[in-house]
């Protein structure tokens, strides 16, 4: 299966600070790992700038305006202790959202079946009216709305980042046309995502404790995928964070790159059975550069082979 790779060098110019975990080198590590993997044959495409009208599918206009107004011309400006803007951040954030929207539209139009978006800043903590957790705009949520507008009405979002995708959940928890499935460590930032949070029956949260075994994580993920399968989506979007890797400094899970390949194969299996294999995956977290690169390459290879 061909996999389109949406990315752009402008996303290296989002610079939240020298000591910030969400640093430009992350994107470089992912791109280098994808290029160095001889088994990958990706079609690279420029991530476009998202249109403001597309952001408005999820975000209120006054929130969009407030982010635009907050962007500094030089230096940095903090929206909260984690979420910091530099001069290049707005362009980066527009390309991050624009990548996932473009990929979703290409898939909805039947031009492609599968895509990986190597983007930053990440998006899954951004709520409709709140930027937080390194995230400015909700890349995956905006893409889900764009896909629906283009005809793919039932969209499932699988989030295996080690942190709960509170922004994605907040966007869709009252909307039965979107299913949101997240596995995450608890307790951990942002503190949401208890299994009792089930939306209108369209939200599935699986939690793993700190230092959970790989087997425990896989059991939790299998339960989520059974729910996604039962939803019978027309498109699967993936919030692909790789910070459940054993080497990651921001969490305490035990996964190896192979576990992300295994999880990806499970997603591919549902996509092939339910929706013609349609998957758009977007990078979220992952803060150990070596683990991030290896894990992203394993994920994309499983997207390609499945």
Question: How many Å apart are CA 10 and CA 20, to the nearest integer?
Answer: 18
Q: Which residues bind Zn ion (CB under 5 A)?
A: 161, 163, 241, 243, 285
SS (H, E, C) 155-213: EEEEECCCCCCHHHHHHHCCCCCEEEEEEEECCCCCCCCCCCCCCCCCEEEEEECCCCC
Q: Report phi then psi at 71, rounded to 5.
A: -65, 125
Q: Which CB, 285 or 293, lies closer to Zn ion?
A: 285
Would you say 17 or 249 has its CB closer to Zn ion?
A: 249
Of residues 167 and 233, the one with the C-beta less far from Zn ion: 167
Whichever of 189 and 226 has its CB closer to Zn ion, that residue is 189
Cα gap 222→218, rounded to integer Å: 6
| In the complex, least distance from residue 285 CB atom to Zn ion, rounded to whole angstroms | 3
Q: How far is the CB of 160 from Zn ion (least distance, A)?
A: 10
Judged by beta carbon, residue 106 or residue 291, the one nearer Zn ion is 291
| Residue 242 to residue 225: CA distance in whole angstroms | 18
Minimum distance, C-beta of residue 123 to Zn ion, in the bound complex (Å): 11
Q: Do the Cβ atoms of 33 and 118 come closer than 8 Å?
A: no
Residue pair 295/260 in contact by the 8 Å Cβ criterion: yes
Q: CB 152 → Zn ion: shortest distance, Å?
A: 26
Rounded to an integer, what distance in angstroms lies between the CA atom of residue 208 and that of residue 219?
10
CB-CB neighbours of 110 under 10 Å:
10
Catalytic residue among 14, 59, 125, 299: 125
Residue 125 designated active-site: yes
Question: At its nearest, how many Å lie between Zn ion and the CB of residue 133?
Answer: 8
Structure tokens, 12: 């290296």
Q: Write out the catalytic residue numbers.
A: 125
């Amino acid at each position: 299966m061909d996999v389109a790779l949406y990315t752009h060098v402008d996303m290296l110019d989002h610079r939240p600070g020298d000591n910030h975990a969400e640093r430009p080198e992350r994107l470089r590590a992912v791109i280098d790992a994808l290029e160095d993997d001889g088994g990958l044959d990706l079609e690279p495409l420029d991530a476009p700038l998202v249109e403001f009208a597309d952001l408005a599918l999820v975000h209120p206009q006054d929130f969009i305006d407030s982010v635009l107004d907050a962007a500094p011309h030089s230096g940095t400006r903090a929206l909260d202790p984690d979420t910091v803007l530099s001069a290049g951040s707005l362009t980066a954030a527009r390309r991050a959202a624009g990548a996932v929207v473009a990929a979703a539209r290409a898939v909805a139009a039947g031009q492609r079946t599968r895509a990986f978006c190597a983007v930053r800043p990440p998006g899954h903590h951004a709520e409709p009216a709140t930027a937080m957790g390194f995230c400015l705009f909700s890349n995956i949520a905006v893409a889900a709305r764009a896909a629906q507008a283009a005809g793919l009405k039932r969209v499932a979002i699988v989030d295996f980042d080690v942190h709960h995708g509170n922004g994605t959940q907040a966007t869709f928890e009252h909307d039965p046309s979107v299913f949101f499935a997240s596995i995450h460590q608890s307790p951990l930032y942002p503190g949401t995502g208890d299994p009792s949070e089930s939306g209108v029956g369209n939200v599935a949260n699986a939690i793993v404790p700190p230092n959970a075994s790989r087997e425990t994580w896989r059991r939790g993920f299998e339960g989520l995928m059974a729910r996604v399968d039962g939803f019978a989506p027309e498109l699967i979007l993936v919030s692909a964070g790789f910070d459940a890797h054993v080497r990651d400094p921001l969490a305490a899970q035990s996964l190896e790159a192979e576990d992300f390949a295994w999880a990806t194969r499970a997603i591919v299996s549902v996509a092939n059975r339910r929706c013609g294999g349609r998957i758009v995956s977007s990078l979220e977290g992952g803060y150990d550069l070596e683990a991030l690169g290896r894990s992203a390459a394993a994920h994309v290879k499983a997207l390609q082979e499945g």
